[in-house]
Amino acid sequence: MGTTASQLGKELLSEYQELTFLTKQEILLAHKRFIELLPKEQRKNLNIRVSMKTILTLPELKANPFGKRICLVFSTSEQKDGSLTFEDFLDLLSAFSDSATLEIKSHYAFRIFDFDDDGTLNFDDLKKLVRCLTGEADELSSEEMTQLINNILEESDIDKDGTVNLSEFQHVISRSPDFVSSFKIVL
């Protein structure tokens, strides 16, 4: 752990601690886990990108049905390929940490569920969301899926425009006490 701390440096470690919801120990553990994903010859470069494919080998994301979307949302890559830098990785872990606020968690959850990145959860986004949550198997008939999504929209779409915006999503989440405890990734 000493090499990890010295590689980050005290100032950088303090800066990361100020800018995230992570403790010093969590940042050091995140750094260790991130570095382990890199080939040995690249382990000293903090600005290196790790491919989405490699990030998804982490058990915490491998088992998550939204793993790819999580990488895409937190990636700052101009190629929009889901690759992550160490700072992207810290942002991801910070948003999913126990210390993150409901507002932060719901903001990122909304972005993850907004599959077409248009700023709303429409019928297709909700259909993909349901499929991710229930598995890829089409256990619901087309009619059942439509009814389920209509029920979700009836409950969530306050302005009745046929979509759920961030504000409406946050309103629904605020009434769900289990959301904060279930929206986390722990290394």
Kindly report, residue by residue over 84-119, the tens digit of the pLDDT. Answer: 999 999 999 999 999 999 999 999 999 999 999 999
Nearest partner of 52 among 97, 27, 88, judged by Cα: 88
The predicted model gives 135-144 an average pLDDT of 78
CB contact at 8 A, 50 and 34 = yes
pLDDT bucket at 186, cuts 50 / 70 / 90: low
3-class secondary structure, 23:
coil
**Which candidate, 18, 13, 41, places its Cα nearest to that of 28?**
13
pLDDT of residue 161: 97
d(CA 171, CA 168): 5
Predicted confidence (pLDDT) per residue in 50-86, tens digit: 999 999 999 999 989 999 999 999 999 999 999 999 9
Provide the token pair at 19.
């800018």
Residue corresponding to tokens 């948003």: 95
pLDDT of residue 1: 42
pLDDT class of 180 with cuts at 50, 70, 90: low
Domains and CATH numbers, the chain: 2-95 (1.10.238.10), 102-182 (1.10.238.10)
